[in-house]
């Protein structure tokens, strides 16, 4: 059904794989549209609890925007294409379920921006991550100048974006760019294990927590606190809240329904 991505589900866990390994999974405009269409399906699938994003092959998660398309990008379509990419990546960030980027190799430019739109990032020890756009005479255009400083702080974001040089997995872990680093053969095992844990948590509580934390990233403490309180109150009205508290009192494991 799709040409540039693969999609599979395993119970509550969905996996989207960017599938252009011969181009190191560089994301062209068609791939962006396919991801957008897939998000329509994922949003409607009540039983899905976690989305994993991965790159096909051994070498790359995503090695950036497709440079052949960049070659044609000018002032007119540059704005259209970056706005579109930002829009689709923001859909991933704001999805009602958490997402995990499984970073197996190169995560560059638009690829790192895609990983940063995910809720969590797990990296193979052989991965390299960076925003090399300045080396092409451009700047990041799919969220890099905004999400990178929020994740790792302004000073480090300045260094990564202005030098264009990548960091290795251990450096990425040290600066908070990724959550965990594991050996390459353990990557998907670790990602699935975390996904399984998240899938067992109450869906709405995760959704509200994620939304409140994203609101923090937008700025004002007072607005963030008000929104947190509002979402906390919503979570108090869920079936899963009743079950979570009841199961604790009854000293048993909870059975969450996602309602």
Residue of 34, 81, 113, 190 marked catalytic: 113
Residue with smaller CB distance to ligand COA, 23 or 91: 23
DSSP 136: G
Query: Annotated catalytic, 133?
Result: yes
**Tokens matching residue 11:** 């119970």
Cα 228-151-55 angle, rounded to 5 deg: 110
Give me the least distance between CB of 89 and ligand COA, in Å please.
14
Distance CA 36, CA 34 (A): 5
Residue with smaller CB distance to ligand COA, 48 or 62: 62
Distance CA 214, CA 92 (A): 12
**Tokens matching residue 238:** 């869920």
Contact 212, 235 (CB under 8 A): no
Would you call 142 exposed, middle or buried from its count of C-beta atoms within 10 A (0-12, 13-18, 19+)?
A: buried
Q: Phi and psi at residue 137, in whole multiples of 5°?
A: 85, 15
Distances from the Cα of 84 to the Cαs of 79, 80, 192, 212, 220, in angstroms? 8, 6, 30, 25, 27
Distance CA 198, CA 224 (A): 24
Tell me if residue 82 falls in helix, strand or coil. helix
Distance CA 91, CA 114 (A): 11
Give me the least distance between CB of 33 and ligand COA, in Å please.
17
Per CB under 6 A, residues contacting ligand COA are 23-24, 26, 63-68, 106, 108-110, 132-133, 136
Residue of 133, 183, 228, 250 marked catalytic: 133
Nearest residue relative to ligand COA (C-beta): 64
Please state, as a whole number, how many other Cβ atoms lie within 10 Å of the Cβ of residue 222.
8
Residue with smaller CB distance to ligand COA, 67 or 174: 67
Candidates 227, 200, 203; CA nearest to 214 is 227
Residue with smaller CB distance to ligand COA, 139 or 225: 139
Query: Annotated catalytic, 113?
Result: yes
- Point out the residues that are catalytic: 113, 133
């Amino acid at each position: 059904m799709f040409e540039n991505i693969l999609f599979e589900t395993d119970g509550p866990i969905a996996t989207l794989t960017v599938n252009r390994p011969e181009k190191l999974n560089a994301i062209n405009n068609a791939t962006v549209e396919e991801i957008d269409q897939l998000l329509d399906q994922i949003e409607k699938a009540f039983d899905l609890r976690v989305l994993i994003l991965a790159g096909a092959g051994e070498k790359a998660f995503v090695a950036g925007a497709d440079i052949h398309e960049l070659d044609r990008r000018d002032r007119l379509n540059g704005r259209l294409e970056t706005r579109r990419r930002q829009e689709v990546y923001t859909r991933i960030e704001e999805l009602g379920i958490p997402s995990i980027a499984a970073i197996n190799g190169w995560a560059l430019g638009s690829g790192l921006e895609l990983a940063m739109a995910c809720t969590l990032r797990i990296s193979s020890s052989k991965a390299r991550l960076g925003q090399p756009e300045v080396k092409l005479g451009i700047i990041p255009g799919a969220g890099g100048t905004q999400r990178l400083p929020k994740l790792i702080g302004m000073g480090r974001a300045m260094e990564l974006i202005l030098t264009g040089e990548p960091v290795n997995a251990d450096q990425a872990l040290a600066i908070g760019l990724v959550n965990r680093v594991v050996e390459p053969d353990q990557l998907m095992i670790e990602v699935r294990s975390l996904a399984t844990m998240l899938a067992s948590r109450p869906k709405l509580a995760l959704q509200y927590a994620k939304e409140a934390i994203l609101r923090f990233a937008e700025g004002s403490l007072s607005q963030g606190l008000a929104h947190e309180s509002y979402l906390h109150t919503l979570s108090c009205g869920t079936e899963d809240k009743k079950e979570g508290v009841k199961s604790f009192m009854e000293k048993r494991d909870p059975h969450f329904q996602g309602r």
